[in-house]
Amino acid sequence: MSDRPKIRLYVDHALQPGQTVALSREQANYLFNVMRLGQGAEVALFNGRDGEWRAIVAEAGKRGGSLVCDVQTAPLMLPPDLWLLFAPIKKARTDFIVEKATEMGVARIIPVQTDFTNAERIRQDRLQAHAIEAAEQCGGTFVPEVTDLQRLDRLLSDWPDGRRLIFADEDAVGRAAPLPDGAATDALPGGWAILIGPEGGFSTAERDRLRALPFVTAISLGPRILRADTAAVAALTLFQARLGDWR
C-alpha cells in the first residue's frame, strides 16, 4: 500500500484506527462512479481535527458505501492565526478568493459588507464547500471557517483585543508602513487579519476610521490598482513570506 493515497476526501467524522466512516450519496458517487474506485481501494480522509488518515473502501455502492481507517498519514497542520476579511465581488471571483485563501493558509474567512460592497448577501454554505474542495486539492488537513456576511463597521467596533489588522490601502503608495519582521512578532499573542476592500475601494469615512485605529497597519500593494481577487492573493503572499508559515 502507498503511504498517502492521491484521492482525498473531507468527512465530518472522527478518525482513528479501525474507525468505520459511512459515505454520503454524493461522496459515494464521486468515489465509485467518477473516480471508479472499488472495494479495497485507498482514500485519504481528513476532518480538520485529526490529521489525514489512509482508509480502505469496505463497501462500494451506487448510493452509498463505507471506508475503514487504517493509519494516520499526516498530522493536523494548522495555518497561521490569520483571518481574511474581504468584500464579496462577482460570484466566480469570490469563489476564487475563498479557494486561494484556503490553499495559502488562513484560519478564518470573513466576507464583509462595506459602504461600496455590491453584494448584499452570500451563500455561506456554498463558499464553505469551496473551502473544503480547496483543502482536498491542496493537501491541507485544516479547513478554514467561512462566516456569513458581516458589516465592517460592526466588526471593527467589536474587534478582539490583541489581534492586528493589515489594511490594504490603495492610497498608501510611498507612505505605508512596512510589515514588521516575523522574528520580532512570533511571541506576540492575538493573531492577525488582512482586510481587502470592494471593487470601488473604501469610502473616505472607512479609510479615515481604519487609519485612526491603533491595531491597524496600512500597507501598499504597489502603484497599480489591483482587482480584489488579485489583491487578496498579493496580501496573503506578503504576509506568509514575512510573518506566516512560509518562512
Say if 234 falls within a structural domain: yes
Report the run of H or E that residue 25 belongs to, with start and end: helix 25-28
Cβ proximity of 133 and 99 under 8 Å: yes
Residue 133 pLDDT greater than 60, yes or no: yes
Q: What is the mean pLDDT of residues 143-157?
A: 97
Domain that includes residue 196, residue range = 82-242
Q: What percent of the chain has pLDDT over 70?
A: 91
Say if 207 falls within a structural domain: yes
pLDDT of residue 1: 43
Number of H helices, E strands in the chain: 7, 12
| Per-residue pLDDT tens over the stretch 201-222 | 899 999 999 999 999 988 888 8
Pairing, β 65-74 against β 20-23: antiparallel
Last residue of a domain, one of 74, 108, 123: 74
Cell readout for 240 is 506568509
Residue 140 pLDDT greater than 90, yes or no: yes
Residue 54 pLDDT greater than 70, yes or no: yes
Say if 247 falls within a structural domain: no
Residue given cell 458517487 in the structure block: 29
Q: What is the mean pLDDT of residues 136-147?
A: 96
Q: Tell me the HSE value of 170 on the side-chain side, using a 13 A CA sphere.
A: 18
Last residue of a domain, one of 74, 99, 114: 74
| Per-residue pLDDT tens over the stretch 100-129 | 999 999 999 999 999 999 877 899 999 999
